[in-house]
Amino acid sequence: MQNPAAPVLSAEVAEALSAGRPVVALESTLLAHGLPRPANRKAADEVEDAVRAGGAVPATIAVLDGVPHVGLTPAEVDRVCADTELPKLGVRDLPVAAALGRSGATTVSSTALLAARAGIGVFATGGLGGVHRHAGDTFDESADLVALARTSLVVVCAGVKSILDVPATLERLESLSVTVVGYRTLRFPGFYVADSGSPVDWSVDTPAEAARVFAACRELVPGAVVVANPLPVDQQLDADLHDRVITDALAAADAAGARGKDVTPFILGHLHEASAGASLEVNVRLVLRNAELAGQIAVELAALSR
């Protein structure tokens, strides 16, 4: 009997890994929870195509009937995108889903874990979770941060959403010894906007440099390398609109009594409505950019391995 917790690799992903070809992991929470239906299904194909444009094989990850799948068939992507009841699965949820035969979309933390277990060295996502505002009172901090401290891979992202406490998130990443580099920038991106207002200490200018940093990281220290890839300023959400809506949304969330995991979807829904859907367009745009860059980094990493 197969171990239900052992990842099942798609034929394409298994062949690529066996041959030492570049592979990029993709999360499924973006598809199940981050984008509206049916636009999420189109975006799923576009993100995988962006990885291929970067030169790598995409491996979208999800848990189906208790079994982690690394690389999904089109029918499996259909299932993830269509299931309105599909829960998010972080690292802590994987044992329960495996034992009870449940399905779920993988978050940054669980995607990173499953990707590393499968031997994938590069992961593309939209934005990381982080330290929430008022975390000193609520202890509300994403499991992504600790997971990245324990998992060896490159994570290409657009920083963290600016609804979080960005300086505190960067402090936690430093405390956890997670390497953070900006891609052609020394400013940490704020997801919808190119600059969150916080600096980073290091930057890389090419996919090859990012790959070399990760290769050195694997030799020297445990944990991930976060490559923070900002949108160009002319592609970001209007900065004035962003700041105004975030301020209003935080106040509305507090007035509505939103707490814990309910805060983020409340605020993002508010942002989507106030921006007339522009925030979703920006979301897809940045994910596609991250996926293509991740593909390019994976190509360079595979070359180093050879």
Q: Which residues are catalytic?
A: 27, 161
C-alpha 5/C-alpha 8 separation (Å) is: 9
What is the separation of C-alpha 60 from the centre of its chain, rounded to a whole number of angstroms? 11
- Cβ neighbours of residue 233 closer than 8 Å, sequence gap 6 or more: 194
- DSSP codes joined into one string, 265-289: HHHHHHHHHHTTTHHHHHHHHHHHH
C-alpha 280/C-alpha 223 separation (Å) is: 31
The sign of the CA dihedral 19, 46, 209, 157 is negative
Q: What is the SS3 assignment for 47? A: helix
DSSP 261: G
- DSSP codes joined into one string, 70-119: ES--HHHHHHHHH-TTPPEE-GGGHHHHHHHT--EEE-HHHHHHHHHHHT
- 175: Cα within 13 Å, side-chain hemisphere: 9
